[in-house]
Structure 1
Amino acid sequence: MIRTRLSPRRPLAVLGAALLGLAGAVAVSAPASAHHTTITATSACDQLTGERVLTWTVENSEQDKAATLQQVTPNPKTDVTVAVEGAPAIPLEGTVVPDGGSVQAVQRVPGDTRSASLTIYALWKKNGQDHTDTGTVDLTRDAPCAPAPKCVDLDKATYSHTFDGPKGTATVKLDGDLPLCGDGKQWFTLVSYFAPRPRFATPQYVHGTPASDWIGRTRTAIDLKVDLPDCNTQVDLIWGDTSQVIDPLTEDGKRYGNLKLGSPGAPGNRSHGPQGWYNGGSRGCTNPASLFTANCDGTVTVALSNDGSLSRYPVEFEVRGANGWSKKVTVEPGKANTDTVVPAANAGTVEVLVDGKVLDKGTYSWQRPEDCPLPTVATRADCDTFTLTVANPKGGLPVKAELTYGGRTETRTVAPGKAEKVTFKAGKDEQATIALPDLDLEMEAVYAPEQNCGGGGGGGEPGLPVTGAAAGVMAAVAGALVAAGAVLFVVTRRRRIRFTA
């Protein structure tokens, strides 16, 4: 606020009586009141020096008389000078203000000055008239002037950042053109996690090595990048170094809160940019797998594993069999389970599911292993009967056997570890057929009685004796078979095997 105050500086000589002197004063002062200067001022802050710069403007009210500024009194008491282009500045005191004109002078005062004034005594050439004016300027509304800072205090610095969670990258930059003061450093850290879901869920475990760097001294910007797991993840850009990293993030554990850049509160809100956190991914951080093994008894053993570089969480498997059979099994990270056995009655189609979805290569139907022992067939024959015995080894499935001789067929189901015997009346047919439809196998057994039955075949009818070399061979073969009591057959699919008894 500018105020102008007029005050007579020099009293007029008074001669005579008081009344006459008073009248003279009025008479003389009247024309003096027409001669005056107007003083105004503006204020600016020099941030290089921290000084407040006052520019005083002194105007001459007279259009036909120049005014000489004979005395200049500033408050505060610092130099008041007039700039002269191309020459050194001159003091305001002694300066002539042309008729109807003005002059500007500059005064530098301390930056915390709250009020300043300038008192000027001016003398006009004609009539010897003089006048004293005072101009003031109120600086209380202005903030104190201070030198421009050359750096930013660590606790007052602000930043801006970018963040790309799906790529695992971020940048942080110090705002403004000034560095941080002294040796101050501000750390920032980018960290990625294994996560159980593509949204926020716990527990989470740090993946790889967090990226951490600082801003300070001549460094005003940094780039950060982290590796992401090939599964569900969380990525956080936080205020601070790696000592701030939380590993693991648990249900009731610590949280980053406003340490995340872009948060609504401090210190995260001291950096301007997008929210510095991300949740995403397209697959779980587990490695569920299944392996099927068919057993000779018709059951299926299912091996469940949760092993591999991605395995960080337990996996709940569901094993489903035919006829509504189901079993749930939980396998911890890095572990396997081989105790799940699907009963033979439910092993038609077996599925392994995780989160309601069938695993890749998670479907199997029982098939008989090639190394399962086959049933054996033994024969015994005399002139009246032809006996066939089917034995089924332990550890396998029951076997259906169809035995046919002389136009008659007998069917037996042979339990594992058991044998079934069928005796036929000897006849003219030279062979019997043994079919095992469950194994897709068919065999033949030759009727060869142990003694000469009169050359006529079965039924006790007389016949010519078998003689010569052929008779000797048959007798030897028959004797061997009787001694062994059984005939073992080569495993063959849909193959007819001929043997003699």
Structure 2
Amino acid sequence: MIRPKLSLRRPLAVLGAVLLGLTGAAAVAAPASAHHTTITATAACDQLSGERVITWKVENSEVNKDATIRKVTASPATPVTVAVEGAGTKPLDQVVIAQGSFVEAVQRVPGDTAKATLKVKAAWYKDNKTQRAENEGSINLSADEPCKPAPTCVDASKAKYSHTFDGPKGTATVKLDGNLPLCGDTKQYFTLVSYFAPRPQFATPQYVYGTPDSDFVGGNQTEIELNVEIPNCHTQVDLIWGDKDKVIDPLVEGGKRYDNLKLGSPGAPGNRSTGPQGWYNGGDKSCTTPASTFASNCDGTVTVSLSNDGKISKYPVEFEVKGENGFSKKVTVEPGKANNDTVVPAESAGKIEVLVDGKVIEGGTYSWQRPEDCPLPTVTTEADCENFTLTASNPEGGLPVKVEFSYDGKTETRTVAAGKSESVTFKAGKAETALVALPDLELEMEAVYAPEGDCGGGGGGGEEPGLPVTGAAAGGIAAGALALLAIGAVLFVVARRRRVRFTA
């Protein structure tokens, strides 16, 4: 009988994707007789399957006799095979080991196997008889990490990211690190949000501006871009871990905070993304629109209207209204509201300023101006051959008015309070007219001295009815009004710093 010899001197390659981190050689049992097999082993991890791949090297101790493998016992009890060139594989117990040679057999065991053993019974034909021997080899795998399949995706709870962030521009990107997608249908959301803020540093309350931008990493999408609008005032911008449900609106004193949800934070989950800090505070103007208007009153006071109702008015505004002589009043106006209750007294209305945060707001300066519809003082006269009496009356609701009465080279000055009258009596002289001037209003008028009757024979006089002082105020065009009385020749002419005399 011819026994075929298998040429197995070339080490056999282990099929599949196998890592070459080898363990130590297996222990070899002492031979039971002069004939024996020597068994050693190495192991590697197949990261595709997660199995340990053990390569058993079985050597024939005889240099001039072939060894026929009769029985193989493996623990764990998985197949032990030998690659045959051109013929695939065959079980180890069907192999003949050529004299002085060896075979390499492959066994796949679970990835968490701690120890594997291999018993081999072999037979030699020598001296016209068959001789048998059994030997055992083993390999200790307990010191190695368990073999696991190489991942094809990354678990969302362990995924790492990197990000960019530009707070002033309201842009950010988030990218999944590595080459593996998230496992299954998992989606990890990230959100970019901007706020109205009361200060360019962190302060509350804050209100969401526009619409937060939210997107996810998952499936084939491994990188996202986020963009939000930034208000044209103080703002805060945050890049947070999670979807829009995580957005806090408003951010208030003592309320919830994003803390480590912000990407780039020192703690989880924000620290699972590398990049700059994902938050920004800035803006160079207040998120309010303070405004003021003014209305002069006839009594010299000024009513100041304050409003806080512009497009970006999100916060109360504390106005300060200041006037001359130490006048100051602070008024807080809520967003979207106005206040019309501030009245600056006449003695302080010469210069008015409206301030916010210590600065005069745009259009916030004013001085009292006499309204065009304010009633003017009136003058009445009484003339006889002995006296010429002039009386000035100031209507209710106006300012005190200074009146200068001049006749026949003499001048008397009176200040007439609102709702009061003042009279001046001159001795009748040769002058035909008297001048009544209101210097504060830049108004003048002439009254003709025309007593009733013939003063040569002793005549009487009469009181003329009241006549209004009318005409242009300072800076106006000279104007006047003519009132010719039916009884008595008293005429009042009003002009700007000039006198026009009319005669009846």
TM-score interval, normalised by the smaller of the two chains:
0.7 to 0.9
CA contact (8 A) 2:37 2:58 kept: no
Deviation per residue, 1:35-68 (Å, 9 max, x gap): 9857352x32222222222345568999xx5885
Q: Is the 1:69–1:121 Cα contact (8 Å) retained in structure 2? A: no
- 253 and 67 in structure 1: CA distance in 2 versus 1, 3 angstrom threshold: farther
Alignment partner of 2:168: what SS? helix
Partner of 1:343: 345
Residue number in structure 2 paired with 1:496:
499
TM-score scaled by length of structure 1? 0.77
Q: Which amino acid aligns with 2:200?
A: P
Equivalent residue for 1:206? 208
CA distance in 2, matches of 1:304, 1:333: 11
Partner of 2:269: 267
For 2:250, what is the secondary structure of its paired residue?
Answer: coil
Counterpart of 1:39? 40
In the alignment, what sits opposite 1:332? Answer: 334
Residues 486, 375 of structure 1: alpha-carbon distance in 2 compared, 3 angstrom cutoff: farther
Aligned with 1:252: secondary structure? coil
The match for 1:5 is 28
Cα 1:52–1:383 change in 2 (3 A) is: same
Task: Say if 1:70 and 1:441 are closer, same or farther in 2 by CA, change over 3 A.
Answer: farther
Q: Quick one: distance in 1 between partners of 2:402 and 2:396? A: 15
Structure 2 residue runs of 5 or longer lacking an equivalent are 1-23, 458-482
Question: Structure 1 pair 427/108, CA: closer, same or farther in 2 (3 Å)?
Answer: same
1:171-214 superposed Cα distances (whole Å, 9 cap, x missing partner): 22333333333333333222222222222222222222222223
Could you say what secondary structure the match of 1:438 adopts? helix
Q: Tell me which residue corresponds to 1:53.
A: 53
How far apart are the structure 2 equivalents of 1:366 and 1:85?
113
Is this contact kept in 2: 1:290–1:352, CA < 8 A?
yes
Q: How far did 1:427 drift?
A: 2.5
User: Shift of the alpha carbon at 1:324?
Assistant: 1.4
Partner of 1:194: 196
Decide which moves more: 126-135 or 218-227.
126-135
In the alignment, the residues of structure 1 paired with residue 361 and residue 99 of structure 2 have an alpha-carbon distance, to the nearest angstrom, of 101
Distance in 2, Cα, partners of 1:117 & 1:481: 147
Give the equivalent residue in structure 2 for 1:317.
319
Q: Residue 364 of structure 1: which of 353, 358, 366 is its match? A: 366
Contact 2:122 2:132 (C-alpha < 8 Å) held by counterparts: yes
Contact 2:65-2:126 within 8 A present in 1 as well: no
Question: Residue deviations 1:352-378, cap 9 Å, x none?
Answer: 111222212212222222332322333
Measure the CA separation in 2 of the matches of 1:377 and 1:432.
Answer: 12
- One-letter amino acid matched to 2:497: R
- Cα deviation per residue 1:357-400 (whole Å; 9 max; x = unaligned)? 22122122222223323223334444433333322222221111
Q: 1:95 to 1:357 in 2, by over 3 A?
A: farther
CA shift in 2, pair 1:85/1:486, >3 Å? farther
Of stretches 376-385 and 275-284 in structure 1, the one that deviates more from structure 2 is 376-385
Call closer, same or farther: CA 1:110–1:409 in 2, change over 3 Å: same
Amino acid paired to 1:228:
I
User: Structure 1 residues 376 and 500, CA, compared in 2 at 3 Å: closer, same or farther?
Assistant: farther
Q: In the TM superposition, what are the counterparts of 1:141-290 in structure 2 within 5 Å?
A: 141-290=143-292
| TM-score (norm: length of structure 2) | 0.77
8 Å contact kept, 2:27–2:139: no
Change (3 A) 1:60 1:275: farther
2:174 alignment partner, SS class: strand
> How far 1:334 sits from its partner (Å)?
1.2
CA distance in 2: counterparts of 1:57 and 1:481, whole angstroms: 149
Aligned letter for 1:46? D
Matched position secondary structure for 1:269 = helix
Shift of 1:302: 1.0
Relative to structure 1, is the Cα distance of residues 209 and 136 closer, same or farther in structure 2, using a 3 angstrom cutoff?
same
Shift in CA distance, 383/171, structure 1 to aligned 2, threshold 3 Å: same
Cα drift, residue 126 of structure 1: 11
The structural deviation recorded for 1:89 is 5.5
1:114 aligns with 2:114: yes
Aligned twin of 1:14:
none
SS in 1 for 2:231: coil
Pairwise mapping of residues 88-103 of structure 1 onto structure 2 (< 5 A)? 88=88, 94=95
Moved more, 182-191 or 279-288: 182-191
More deviation in 117-126 or 290-299? Answer: 117-126
Match of 1:471 in 2: none
Q: Give the letter for the 1:144 counterpart.
A: P
Higher helix content, 1 or 2: 1
- Give the 3-state SS of the residue equivalent to 1:345 in structure 2: helix
Tell me the distance in 2 between the aligned counterparts of 1:481 and 1:178. 112
CA distance in 2, matches of 1:67, 1:293: 125
Match of 1:292 among 291, 294, 313: 294
| Residue 109 of structure 1: how far off its partner (Å) | 2.3
Match of 1:443 in 2: 445
Post-superposition offset of 1:411: 0.9
Kept after mapping to 2: 8 A contact 1:38/1:61: no
Q: Distance in 2 between matches of 1:159 and 1:426?
A: 106
> What's the offset of the Cα at 1:69?
5.9
Match of 1:480 in 2: 486
Checking the alignment, whether the CA contact within 8 Å between 1:231 and 1:282 is kept in structure 2 is: yes
Per-residue deviation, residues 337-360 of structure 1 (Å, max 9, x unmatched): 111111111122211111222212
Shift, 1:151, TM fit: 3.0
Is the contact made by 1:67 and 1:123 (CA closer than 8 Å) also made in structure 2? no
Residues of 1 paired with 2:443 and 2:190: CA distance? 75
1:2 and 1:135 in contact (8 A); partners too: no
Aligned CA distance change for structure 1 residues 69 and 499 (closer, same or farther; 3 Å): farther
What is the SS of the residue equivalent to 2:200?
Answer: coil
Per-residue deviation, 1:133: 6.4
Distance 2:436 2:405 in 1: 5
What code does the residue aligned with 1:204 have? Q
2:486 is paired with a residue whose SS is helix
What is the alpha-carbon distance in structure 1 between the residues aligned to residue 437 and residue 125 of structure 2? 149
Contact 1:316 / 1:331 at 8 angstroms: preserved in 2?
yes
- Partners of 1:67 and 1:122 within 8 A in 2: no
Task: Give the residue type in structure 1 aligned to 2:25.
Answer: I
Task: Name the residue aligned to 1:18.
Answer: none
Question: Residue 23 of structure 1 aligns with which residue?
Answer: none
Which residue of the partner structure matches residue 21 of structure 1? none
Closer/same/farther in 2, CA of residues 38 and 356 from structure 1, 3 Å limit: same
Aligned-residue identity in percent: 67
Q: RMSD in angstroms over aligned alpha carbons? A: 3.6
